Chain A
Amino acid sequence: MSTTYALELKDVRKNFGKTEIIRGVNLAVEPGERVAVIGPNGAGKSTLFNLIRARFGPTSGDILLNGQRIQHKTPYEINRMGLARSFQITNIFPKLSVFENLRCAVLWSLGYKYTFFKFLSGLKDANERADQLLEMIRLDKKRDVLAVNLTYAEQRALEIGVTIAGGADVILLDEPTAGMSKSETSRFIHLIKEVTVGKTLLTVEHDMGVVFGLADKIAVVVYGEVIAFDTPEAVRANAKVQEAYLGSSVADSQAGGH
């Protein structure tokens, strides 16, 4: 192998009982690429995501982060290796202030580990980094507000802030704009682009506006397989993708039709 991919999936399979959900996925993401994973409902996008972030291990195949295998590792080990993720359902520390949320998230990467012989107020680098993050996600005015008291959009921003805080170079975003209004969404995409400059980004998203606004490349997952992995224009023109989407949207409308 000549180049090391930021994230590489090699013939990854996952069975739940006898049902094969992921049927041999191959995906190689170059460092610095922004990749969006799309696909019809039930195609296995979420399962794929859960595999990468080690919620459960794959049945077979390899998942490599910067060339190192990460399957069967605990979430915190993967995080320390440089992969961070956000959650679809806002997942922050509700009873801590916005600033404390961010400061907690930078501690490990700055090497403070489990120390209890230092005062937080004396950790200059951690405090500066947290304040810097506050500005990046535009929550500097809410510094001392408890996370639980933020608006939904602000909580989503904090979610991103906590995700990028540790300085991981591969970022997984699980439906980052879920539940946001149109105007909030476009502002939010801008924010995500801004804070993830130079990082590898992998996102699952339903909103096609978000997908085409954010991604350099799009991976289309249908029935547990990647049927296309290319630039947005090429994917849009891809006949297999059109068929899959058209087919499934007809099926969806039949299933959901009243």
Chain B
Amino acid sequence: MAAVYKFKPYNVGRWVIWSLFALVLLLAPLVFTSNLSTTMLAQMGIAIIACLSYNILLGQGGMLSFGHAVYTGLGSYLAIHALNAVSAGKWHIPVSLLPIVGGIAGMCFAVLLGWVTTRKSGTPFAMITLGVAELVFAMSLMFSEFFGGEAGVSGNRVAGEAFFGITFGPQIQVYYLIAAYTFVCVALMYAFTQTPLGRILNAVRDNPERVEFIGYNTQRVRYIAFIIAGFFAGIAGGLGALNFEIVTAEVVGAGRSGAYLLFTFLGGATFFFGPIIGAILMVIAFVLLSELTKAWLLYLGLIFLFMVMYAPGGIASLIMMNLRVAKFGKLRQIWTSYLGLGLTAFVMLAGAGAMIEMVYHLQLNSALGDTVKFMGATLNAKGLDSWFGCAFVMFTGLGLFELCRRQYMIEWGDIQTEIEKEIKRRETAV
């Protein structure tokens, strides 16, 4: 499994990829035109910056932080206070630069708190971040002048002078502001991975002891990386403040920190683009899945569990592994297996999902009667036949899935050995 970090230098592919990325950011709101989708797209942009900044710690530096929301959240707070200062006529900076205020705030807090946090690595690091996160959250309840108490701090982004008629009143204008920031931040964070410090950070992740013996102070490396991550996190927070026009204490909460960790991991921490996938999924889960079912957190937890166990490289590594297979022209051999896996998994999950929905219905909505609608079918949550049917569907799916999986594993193994042989052959041919 080749974890190739960089695209090859000077290749055309890089220009194509970055142009495509810009194009997607530009055209997305023209394709998805509804109000909901514009809101979601804006949130995705913010989440992409936040998750990528988190991955500077997790994926690139091997620092498992449980408190990244501290830096996005404090960035949000400083940005919304700055916005209110602009509204009140006290400050004269354009609204479009407020995310930078958030970024600087995030950076300053990272300078302050990171100095403590990055003294240690590994488990102590994780625990200290957890402690710092709890500390900041506790303070958010104590200092209501700054944190706004339960109600939070609200603002109005239509402030200061309009610039060429851009007031940031309409959501679409905010989207394009976020998109511009997203593009620049993603580019900068990618650039960071290609610098000496970025590479030494990888080395610190891999083997801190050895890094000390090639002349580097690992603490310093972690600290600087932490500050950089804090800066980008703060920008994400500042954009969030502009987008929602309200900042409440939950933005520095453990839930938010957990979400960054979870979705960065889900997307894939070992590849630069992994957290982008994770961020998109995060918004989809939080906005759509939470509307669709009350059990969404349960599903999320289950997905996370399975990913940690079976695909620790996240979605990005699954994609890259299959790209490798495709590159050697062998994807055709297993796509039927994928079809089988997909279908049987769908059957299994449909059965399991129906039962979960019935349990939730009984626990939460039983006053509304016993019937549950699930994927077009009407089930009786108290009827034995419904339960029996669902269990039957699930176990049938499970059995067939297991058969498919075994077949698939054999094929996958064969293909990998073929590829290894092919690589050896090419090596000797050179």
Interface residues, chain A, with chain B CB atoms under 8 Å away:
53, 74-76, 79-80, 84-85, 87, 91-96, 100, 103-105, 107-109, 112-121, 123, 126, 141, 146, 162-163, 165-166
Contact status A96-B206, CB under 8 Å:
yes
Contact status A104-B195, CB under 8 Å:
no
Contact residue among B197, B207, B213, B430 (Cβ-Cβ distance under 8 Å from A114): B197
* Closest A residue, CB atoms, query B205: A95
B215 vs chain A, min Cβ distance (A): 3
With A95-B202, A96-B206, A121-B9 as known contacts, state yes or no: A116 contacts B215, CB within 8 Å.
Answer: no
Given contacts A107-B215, A118-B196, A120-B199, 18 further A-B contacts (CB under 8 A): A74-B212, A75-B212, A75-B213, A76-B215, A76-B216, A79-B215, A80-B215, A85-B213, A95-B205, A96-B199, A96-B202, A96-B206, A100-B199, A108-B214, A116-B197, A117-B195, A119-B191, A146-B3
With A104-B203, A121-B194, A141-B427 as known contacts, state yes or no: A93 contacts B210, CB within 8 Å.
Answer: yes
B209 within 8 A of A: yes
Contact status A108-B215, CB under 8 Å:
yes
With A76-B215, A108-B214 as known contacts, state yes or no: A116 contacts B199, CB within 8 Å.
Answer: no
* Closest A residue, CB atoms, query B192: A116
With A95-B3, A114-B221 as known contacts, state yes or no: A120 contacts B215, CB within 8 Å.
Answer: no
Instruction: Give B73-92 as 1s and 0s: 1 = Cβ < 8 Å from A's Cβ atoms.
Output: 00000000000000000000
Contact status A103-B215, CB under 8 Å:
no
How many angstroms from the CA of A109 to the CA of B214 in the assembled complex? 9
Q: Please indicate which of the listed interface residues B198, B216, B221, B427 has the most CB atoms of chain A within 10 Å of its own CB.
A: B216
How many angstroms from the CA of A118 to the CA of B427 in the assembled complex? 33
Interface residues, chain B, with chain A CB atoms under 8 Å away:
2-3, 9, 191-192, 194-200, 202-203, 205-207, 209-217, 220-221, 224, 228, 427, 430
Contact status B213-A76, CB under 8 Å:
yes
* Closest A residue, CB atoms, query B8: A144
> Which residues of B have CB within 8 Å of A120?
194-196, 198-199
Contact residue among B2, B212, B214, B217 (Cβ-Cβ distance under 8 Å from A105): B214
* Closest B residue, CB atoms, query A162: B214
* Closest B residue, CB atoms, query A163: B213
A sample of 13 inter-chain contacts (CB < 8 A) reads: A76-B212, A79-B214, A84-B213, A94-B206, A94-B207, A96-B203, A100-B199, A107-B199, A114-B216, A116-B228, A117-B195, A141-B427, A146-B2
* Closest B residue, CB atoms, query A121: B9
How many angstroms from the CA of A93 to the CA of B202 in the assembled complex? 8
How many angstroms from the CA of A76 to the CA of B224 in the assembled complex? 17
Contact status B195-A115, CB under 8 Å:
yes
> Which residues of B have CB within 8 Å of A109?
215
> Which residues of B have CB within 8 Å of A85?
213
A152 vs chain B, min Cβ distance (A): 17
Judged by DSSP, the binding face of B is helix
> Which residues of A have CB within 8 Å of B196?
107, 112-116, 118, 120, 123, 126
> Which residues of B have CB within 8 Å of A107?
196, 199-200, 214-215
Contact status B202-A116, CB under 8 Å:
no
The 6 lowest CB-CB distance pairs between A and B, nearest first, are: A108-B215, A75-B212, A93-B206, A116-B197, A116-B195, A112-B196
* Closest B residue, CB atoms, query A79: B215
> Which residues of B have CB within 8 Å of A117?
195
B417 vs chain A, min Cβ distance (A): 15
With A94-B206, A107-B200, A146-B2 as known contacts, state yes or no: A166 contacts B214, CB within 8 Å.
Answer: yes
How many angstroms from the CA of A134 to the CA of B309 in the assembled complex? 37
Contact status A104-B213, CB under 8 Å:
no
Contact status A74-B210, CB under 8 Å:
no
How many angstroms from the CA of A162 to the CA of B206 in the assembled complex? 14
* Closest B residue, CB atoms, query A86: B213
Contact status A76-B206, CB under 8 Å:
no
How many angstroms from the CA of A84 to the CA of B209 in the assembled complex? 13
How many angstroms from the CA of A76 to the CA of B220 in the assembled complex? 11
A81 vs chain B, min Cβ distance (A): 10
B209 vs chain A, min Cβ distance (A): 7
A79 vs chain B, min Cβ distance (A): 4
Contact status A104-B200, CB under 8 Å:
yes
Contact status A92-B215, CB under 8 Å:
no
Contact status A79-B203, CB under 8 Å:
no
Q: Please indicate which of the listed interface residues B197, B202, B228 has the most CB atoms of chain A within 10 Å of its own CB.
A: B197
> Which residues of A have CB within 8 Å of B209?
91
A216 vs chain B, min Cβ distance (A): 25
How many angstroms from the CA of A76 to the CA of B196 in the assembled complex? 17
Contact status A119-B215, CB under 8 Å:
no
Contact status A119-B224, CB under 8 Å:
no
How many angstroms from the CA of A93 to the CA of B209 in the assembled complex? 10
A121 vs chain B, min Cβ distance (A): 5
How many angstroms from the CA of A94 to the CA of B196 in the assembled complex? 18
How many angstroms from the CA of A113 to the CA of B197 in the assembled complex? 8
How many angstroms from the CA of A223 to the CA of B79 in the assembled complex? 67
How many angstroms from the CA of A96 to the CA of B211 in the assembled complex? 13
A139 vs chain B, min Cβ distance (A): 13
Contact status B215-A166, CB under 8 Å:
yes
How many angstroms from the CA of A123 to the CA of B167 in the assembled complex? 44
How many angstroms from the CA of A189 to the CA of B195 in the assembled complex? 35
> Which residues of A have CB within 8 Å of B427?
141
> Which residues of A have CB within 8 Å of B206?
93-96
* Closest A residue, CB atoms, query B200: A104
Contact residue among A114, A121, A141 (Cβ-Cβ distance under 8 Å from B220): A114
> Which residues of B have CB within 8 Å of A95?
3, 202, 205-206
A55 vs chain B, min Cβ distance (A): 10
> Which residues of A have CB within 8 Å of B191?
119
Contact residue among A87, A104, A141, A163 (Cβ-Cβ distance under 8 Å from B199): A104
With A79-B213, A95-B3 as known contacts, state yes or no: A118 contacts B195, CB within 8 Å.
Answer: yes
> Which residues of A have CB within 8 Å of B197?
114-116
> Which residues of B have CB within 8 Å of A166?
214-215
